Structure 1
Amino acid sequence: MKIGIIGMGHVGSTLAYGLVLKGLCKHLVLANRNVTKAQGDALDLQHTLSFCEHPIIIESSRIEEVTACDILIMTASVPFAAMKSRIELGPANVALFKELIPDLAANNPDAIFIVITNPVEVMTYLTYRLSGFSASKVLGIGTLVDSARFRSLLSRMEQIHPADLRAYILGEHGPHQFPVFSHASAGSEQIVDNLPNRLLCETVNNAGHEVYGLKGHTNYAIATAACEVIQAIVYDDHRTMPLSLYFNEWLGIKKNCFSIPVVVGRAGVTRYLRPDLNLLEQQALATTAALVKANINRLLYPDGGGLDDEESPMEQESTQSARRRTACT
Structure 2
Amino acid sequence: MKIAIIGTGRVGSSVAYALVLKQFCNHLVIAGRSYEKARGDALDLQHTLAFCSRPMRIEACTNEQVMDADIIVITASVDTEGQVITSRIQLGNKNAAMFRELIPILAANNPDAVLIVVTNPVDVMTYAASKLSGFLPNRVMGVGTLVDSARFRTLLSQEVHIHPGDLRTYILGEHGPNQFPILSSAEAGGERIRDTPRHRELFTQVIEAGFEVYRLKGYTNHAIATATCMVVEAVAFDESRTMPLTTRFDDWMGIQDNCFSIPVVVGRSGIIRHLYPEMNDDEQQNLQTAAAVIKSTIISLIPDLVG
Distance in 1 (CA, whole Å) between partners of 2:142 and 2:285 is: 23
Determine the structure 1 residue equivalent to 2:3. 3
For the residue of structure 1 that corresponds to 2:151, the secondary structure is helix
Gap regions ≥5 residues in structure 1? 311-329
1:144 equivalent to 2:140? Answer: no
Number of aligned positions between the proteins: 305
Determine the structure 1 residue equivalent to 2:218. 216
Distance in 2 (CA, whole Å) between partners of 1:55 and 1:250 is: 43
One-letter amino acid matched to 2:274: Y
8 Å Cα contact 2:131/2:305 also seen in 1: no
Determine the structure 2 residue equivalent to 1:56. 56
Q: Deviations over 1:36-82 (max 9, x none)?
A: 11111000000000000121100000110000000001100001132
Distance in 1 (CA, whole Å) between partners of 2:257 and 2:295 is: 9
Offset at residue 28 of structure 1 (A): 0.4
One-letter amino acid matched to 1:34: S
Distance in 2 (CA, whole Å) between partners of 1:262 and 1:60 is: 32
Q: Deviations over 1:283-304 (max 9, x none)?
A: 0000100000000000001xxx
Determine the structure 2 residue equivalent to 1:239. 241
Offset at residue 112 of structure 1 (A): 0.3
Determine the structure 2 residue equivalent to 1:77. 77
Distance in 1 (CA, whole Å) between partners of 2:281 and 2:55 is: 51
Offset at residue 215 of structure 1 (A): 0.5
1:187-206 equivalent positions in 2, closer than 5 A: 187-206=189-208
Q: 1:128 aligns with which of 103, 127, 130?
A: 130
1:107-186 equivalent positions in 2, closer than 5 A: 107-186=109-188
Determine the structure 1 residue equivalent to 2:278. 276
Distance in 2 (CA, whole Å) between partners of 1:54 and 1:106 is: 31
Offset at residue 182 of structure 1 (A): 1.1
Distance in 1 (CA, whole Å) between partners of 2:253 and 2:213 is: 33
Distance in 1 (CA, whole Å) between partners of 2:96 and 2:54 is: 37
Q: Deviations over 1:260-314 (max 9, x none)?
A: 000001111110000111100000000100000000000001xxx773xx2xxxx
For the residue of structure 1 that corresponds to 2:184, the secondary structure is helix
Offset at residue 23 of structure 1 (A): 0.2
Offset at residue 34 of structure 1 (A): 1.4
Superposition TM-score, scaled by structure 1 size: 0.92
Q: Deviations over 1:120-144 (max 9, x none)?
A: 0000000000000010000000000
Determine the structure 2 residue equivalent to 1:33. 33
Determine the structure 1 residue equivalent to 2:231. 229
For the residue of structure 2 that corresponds to 1:102, the secondary structure is helix
For the residue of structure 2 that corresponds to 1:114, the secondary structure is strand
**RMSD, matched Cα:** 0.8
Deviant stretches of 4+, over 2 Å:
none
Distance in 2 (CA, whole Å) between partners of 1:306 and 1:67 is: 25
One-letter amino acid matched to 2:284: Q
One-letter amino acid matched to 2:132: L
Gap regions ≥5 residues in structure 2? none
Determine the structure 2 residue equivalent to 1:315. none
For the residue of structure 2 that corresponds to 1:217, the secondary structure is coil
One-letter amino acid matched to 2:119: T
For the residue of structure 2 that corresponds to 1:91, the secondary structure is helix
Q: Deviations over 1:92-120 (max 9, x none)?
A: 00000001000000000000000000000
Distance in 2 (CA, whole Å) between partners of 1:138 and 1:245 is: 7
One-letter amino acid matched to 2:16: A
Superposition TM-score, scaled by structure 2 size: 0.98
Distance in 1 (CA, whole Å) between partners of 2:305 and 2:66 is: 32
Distance in 1 (CA, whole Å) between partners of 2:305 and 2:53 is: 49
8 Å Cα contact 2:128/2:305 also seen in 1: no
One-letter amino acid matched to 2:131: R
For the residue of structure 2 that corresponds to 1:166, the secondary structure is coil
Distance in 2 (CA, whole Å) between partners of 1:203 and 1:36 is: 39
For the residue of structure 2 that corresponds to 1:110, the secondary structure is coil
Offset at residue 8 of structure 1 (A): 0.8
